[in-house]
Structure 1
Amino acid sequence: MEKARLRTLGLANLKWLHDHPALKEQKEYLISQQLFNDPLWQKAQTIAITKPMDFEFDTHILLKQGWAEGKSMLIPVTNTERRLSFHSVGPETKFTKTAFGVEEPVDEPEVGREVIDLLIVPGIVFTRSGFRIGFGGGFYDRFLLQFQGETCSLVFSEQIQEHWPIESFDQPVKRLFIS
C-alpha cells in the first residue's frame, strides 16, 4: 500500500481512537508507564517531544512528568526550510498554533541537537521495526539523519502497519512503546 493511502488510514484510526476517549486514555497511561519505567526515560536529562493535536498521543503527560523529575523538556519549531529546531519549555511557556495546527513555543531559547538525550518522534503509521509515516513534510526524517541521541515513539496498536515500501530517506526510530 502506498504511503498516502496508509497516512489516510492511519489518521482515520487515530480519529477513531480519539472518539473513544476512555480507551485512548487507558492506552496513553499504559504507554506512558512503559516509557517512565524504561532506562531511556530514566537516564535522559533533556527530552524532546511535540505538543499533540487532539487525536494524537497526549504528550502533556510527558511534559508534566519530565518537569516533576527536573528534566529539561523541549518542543520543536518548524522553519521555512522544512527544518526543526528544539526549544526549552516550562509550565509558563506561551505557545502559538501553526498553519498545520501544531502548537510551537514563542520566544523560548533554542537548544542544540547535541544536548538532546531522548527524542520522542511522532508519527501516524509505524512498522514494528521503527519506520514511520508522518504528515509528509519530512521534518523528522531530515532531523534524524544528523541526530546521534536515543529515539523512540509512543504508538497505539492501531497505528501499526507492516507492509509498505521503505524509501531511502526514511529514518527509523530505535524503540517503540506500544499499547
Structure 2
Amino acid sequence: MPSHLNSRQTLRRQLRQARRDLSVDEQQTAAENLLTCFQQHFLGVDHSPKTPINNVALYLANDGEISPHLLCEHFWQKGINTYLPVIQNKQLAFALYSEETIWQENIYGIKEPMTKEYLPKEALDIVLLPLVGFDTEGGRLGMGGGFYDRTFEGKKTTEAPLLIGLAHDCQQVKSLPVEGWDVPLQAFITPTQVIKA
C-alpha cells in the first residue's frame, strides 16, 4: 500500500479515537457551541439567515461525530427544510427529514429516511458534512467510503450547495494528505471557530 494512503488510515484511526474519547457532557456542550458558532457567522441579529436558506442537508451523528441535532431543531423552527443523506449506487441522495420521518437502516447500520422522493443536490443551499479530520485549506478526511466525494465530484466552489464540514476542535490537523478525488469544502465549523477555506 502506498505510504500516503497508509498515513491517511493511521490519521483516520487516531482522529476517530480522539472524538470517541469525548464524554457525553463534552459532546452536548460541543453541540451547543456549534449552534452558537453557526448563528454568529451565518445568521443575522434576529437569527434569520444573512442570505436566503431554504434547504439544508445534515447528518445523524455516529461514531463520536459532533452532533448537528440542535442546528436541525433551529432550522425546523425557522421553517428551513432539512435533508439527510441516503446511500444510492455508491453516491448520496437527499431525503426530507422531519418529525414524521419513517426510518430504515443502511448497510452501515445508520438510520436513513425510507422514501423514494429525493431533492436534487443542486437544490440544496448548504450541506453540513461529517468528517474525521480537516485542515484550513478545505481538506476533509472522511470515513473512507467516498460517498460525499463521488456525490459532489466536479462541483465548482462557486456552485450550490455550500459544503461545510462540522467537527470537534480535536479533529483539526495542520495539513491533510489529499487525493485527486477529494472534494474540497468551502468552510468548517467547530465549537470554537469558523474556518473559511
**TM-score under structure 2 normalisation?**
0.82
The match for 1:70 among 79, 86, 93 is 79
One-letter code aligned to 2:62: M
**Which consecutive unaligned segments of at least 5 residues does structure 2 have?**
192-197
Q: Separation in 1 of the partners of 2:103 and 2:69?
A: 13
- The match for 2:10 is 5
SS of match in other structure, 1:100:
coil
The match for 2:64 among 26, 30, 55 is 55
What RMSD in Å do the two structures reach over aligned CA positions? 1.8
Paired residues in the alignment total 176
Q: Separation in 2 of the partners of 1:65 and 1:97?
A: 25
- The match for 2:25 is 22
The 8 Å contact of residues 30 and 66 in structure 2, kept in 1 or not, is answered as: no
- The match for 2:194 is none
The 8 Å contact of residues 28 and 58 in structure 1, kept in 2 or not, is answered as: yes
The match for 1:93 among 101, 105, 109 is 101
Q: Separation in 1 of the partners of 2:137 and 2:11?
A: 17
Q: Separation in 1 of the partners of 2:72 and 2:63?
A: 16
Per-residue CA deviations over 1:69-112 (Å, capped at 9, x if unaligned) read 10011111002x31110011211101122221321101252001
Matches within 5 A, 1:1-179: 2-17=7-22, 20-39=23-42, 42=49, 43-53=52-62, 55-79=64-88, 81-107=89-115, 109-147=117-155, 148-149=159-160, 150-179=162-191
The 8 Å contact of residues 132 and 142 in structure 2, kept in 1 or not, is answered as: yes
Per mean C-alpha deviation after superposition, the further-off stretch among 23-32 and 109-118 is 23-32
Q: Separation in 2 of the partners of 1:128 and 1:99?
A: 32
Structure ID, larger Rg: 2
Per-residue CA deviations over 1:50-73 (Å, capped at 9, x if unaligned) read 112152112222221111110011
Q: Separation in 2 of the partners of 1:146 and 1:45?
A: 23
**Which consecutive unaligned segments of at least 5 residues does structure 1 have?**
none
Consecutive aligned runs of 4 or more in structure 1 exceeding 6 Å deviation: none
Q: Separation in 2 of the partners of 1:156 and 1:134?
A: 14
One-letter code aligned to 2:180: S
One-letter code aligned to 1:7: R
User: Percent of counterpart pairs with the same letter?
Assistant: 23
**TM-score under structure 1 normalisation?**
0.90
SS of match in other structure, 1:50:
coil
One-letter code aligned to 2:117: P
